[in-house]
Amino acid sequence: MRDESTILRAAARDAAIRTEAATERLIARATDERLVDVALGETDSPIGRLLVAVTRRGLAAIVFDGEDRDAVLERLALELSPRIVTSPEITDEVRRELDEYFEGTRRRFEVRVDRRLMHPFAKEVLAATSRVRYGHLATYGQIAARIGRPTAARAVGAALGSNPIPIVVPCHRVIGASGRLTGYAGGLERKERLLALEGSLLPTT
């Protein structure tokens, strides 16, 4: 005969399974009825675990491991919608393309992008940055010139630092005029590893 602690553990496990199943049903129903405004998903990568946020318009955010995720979730709730759920199904396409990118089989992302978390100047900067191709680099000054503001290299750097969709919007491909790697929200080590993956920079660490 099983002792009381074994029975309690089994009951707790069964309750957890039922709760998880119920949660999955609720999320599926909310998705079917278009009640989900922001879907979250996670994926592993060579530069750490990534959190992605997807809306009906497209990918709205990618968050690096170690960033303040609570602050990001609060911003999503305030600026997009508080109706946020975890949904592997809705985020599957984004996570698949990221996996392919890190495996070296994808050079261009095809997922739609939701730019609502970008302020107007940043939208200009990041649109120009999106045209920097895989394996290529641009300087802050070059991006500034491309948007018709050749003296705004410093402002361009600030806009890139606020990029809510790193990797897919490739701010890591923008470097200093001297060729130095400067300024990356995910840290210079991640920037270096992304550029090494793309073959535009030899790893030094």
Best CA proximity match to 38, nearest among 52, 19, 18, 23: 52
Encode pLDDT of 173-198 as tens digits: 999 988 888 878 889 999 999 999 99
Say whether both 156 and 192 belong to one domain: yes
The SS3 call for residue 111 is: coil
In a domain, 205, yes or no: no
The answer to whether 197 and 135 are in contact (CB under 8 A) is no
pLDDT band at 205; cut points 50, 70, 90: very low
17-54 confidence digits (pLDDT tens) = 454 444 454 445 545 545 689 999 999 999 999 999 99
Are residues 97 and 41 both part of a single domain?
A: yes
pLDDT value for 33: 43
CA atoms of 97 and 168, how far apart (whole Å): 9
Domain count, the chain: 3
* Residues tagged active-site: 171
pTM: 0.81
